[in-house]
Structure 1
Amino acid sequence: MTRLFSVTALAALLLASAPGAQAQQKLKYPKATPVDIYDAVEKPAEPIGGVQAYADYLGDKLTYPTAALQAGIEGTVETTFVVEKTGYTSNWTVTKSVSPECDAEALRLVKAGPRWKPAQHKGGVVRQRVTVPITFKMPLGAGGPAPATGTDAPPVTNGTTNAAGLQVVTPETPAQPVGGTEAFFEWVQKNQKYPALARQRKIQGKVMMEFTIEKDGSLANIKPVKRLGSGLDEEAIRLIKASPKWEPARYQGQPVRQKMVLPILFQL
């Protein structure tokens, strides 16, 4: 994720000496009233821990809404809120909408986010309005190898070449579940068995699963790449193994193997 905020240098305090004065005095900036909210300041507000830590928080805690996944909705929600003088946030709003479900998830993230270091302006701590974009992108879609790499060539992801020097291409037609994405997620919801331990501990979220769609549409090399524990990882593996076949990816009209990363959502 690119940096969301730019940080400028603090303005230096000016010292003035009146002719003939025996001591220097600091010039005082006029204080902002409590209701003032600044858009541009000398030292902008910054998440405690830094911008990268905040980006990591957003990426780790974001839960793709099931309805948006089923509908194939992607996009960037722009949220705006005020960083108060205490470092807490308030006045959360969506200034650029993607869908009601994605908008609600974006607001949930910024409301639950960590405290900030408040902005400083003209020698004092002030309230600042900030904008944070939150991107929802379907994790379905990675490149597959060109047919010339051979029938036993391993699947690879987007780029130019992989570690073995094999050509990497983006399929003309990506792999997808038979019947479409919506049918696949409906199948997952219908067949999902929430583990008792995870339910008891009130654990929910997404297990990110990686697997390969073979040329015949079968799924192989199934493994979790982001775990939740308490039996949820094992249930996600079971669901992928038991799922119906997929339509394989195609390149120049021929089926090719394709690696996928897919979230399995668990919600109480």
Structure 2
Amino acid sequence: MAVAQIGGEDEVYLNGDYVEANFNGGGIAKFHEFISSNLDHSKITKPGKIVFTFTISESGEIKNLRIVEFPYIEMATEIIRVINAAPKWQPAKRGGKSISLDVRFPMDFSTRSKEN
């Protein structure tokens, strides 16, 4: 299971002024679902954890993708391929204006099942 950290300073204190980014009608869980369903699981040959970061731009595009932790290069390459194929997000909004948002996203994989 992935638990992503979506960055921002004070979302809790904005009294409803902040609107989360949206991916395919959902949030980060929908993005995790997209990645899992589009991975070529034959390239995930060993268990391991991968952590990547990216920015959801004001236009909803994924930018600044960085793989910050990975057990082997084939896993990292496959994750990059899937993320680059992802549709745009609906960007987060603050005060009615679209804002960019930094995301840190970990995923764990095991060889017994397709993912944890």
CA distance in 2: counterparts of 1:229 and 1:185, whole angstroms: 20
- For the pair shown, the structure with the greater C-alpha radius of gyration is 1
Is the partner of 2:53 in helix, strand or coil? strand
Aligned to 1:233: 76
1:185 aligns with 2:32: yes
CA distance in 1: counterparts of 2:73 and 2:66, whole angstroms: 16
Shift of the 207–183 alpha-carbon distance from structure 1 to 2, 3 Å rule, reads: same
1:252 aligns with 2:99: no
Aligned length: 105
Aligned to 2:5: 140
CA distance in 2: counterparts of 1:265 and 1:236, whole angstroms: 12
Q: In the TM superposition, what whole-angstrom CA distance separates every residue of 1:57-115 from its partner, at most 9, and x where no partner exists?
A: xxxxxxxxx3xx5xxxxxxxxxxxxxxxxxxxxxxxxxxxxxxxxxxxxxxxxxxxxxx
1:173 aligns with 2:19: yes
* Alpha-carbon offset, residue 249 of structure 1: 1.1
2:53–2:67: 8 Å Cα contact kept in structure 1? Answer: yes
1:267 aligns with 2:113: no
CA RMSD of aligned residues (A): 2.1
* Alpha-carbon offset, residue 185 of structure 1: 2.5
Amino acid at match of 2:23: P
CA distance in 1: counterparts of 2:37 and 2:31, whole angstroms: 10
> Hey, which bits of structure 1, 4+ residues long, moved more than 3 A?
none
Is the partner of 1:177 in helix, strand or coil? coil
CA distance in 1: counterparts of 2:52 and 2:82, whole angstroms: 10
2:57 to 214, 217, 225: 214
Shift of the 176–267 alpha-carbon distance from structure 1 to 2, 3 Å rule, reads: farther
Query: Kindly, what percent of the aligned residue pairs are identical?
Result: 27
2:48–2:70: 8 Å Cα contact kept in structure 1? Answer: no
What TM-score comes out, normalization by structure 2 length?
A: 0.75
Structure 1 unpaired stretches of 5+: 1-65, 70-137, 144-157, 159-168
Amino acid at match of 1:179: G
Structure 2 unpaired stretches of 5+: 12-16, 112-116
What TM-score comes out, normalization by structure 1 length?
A: 0.36
| Structure with the larger RCO, 1 or 2 (CA within 8 Å, 6+ apart) | 2
* Alpha-carbon offset, residue 266 of structure 1: 2.7
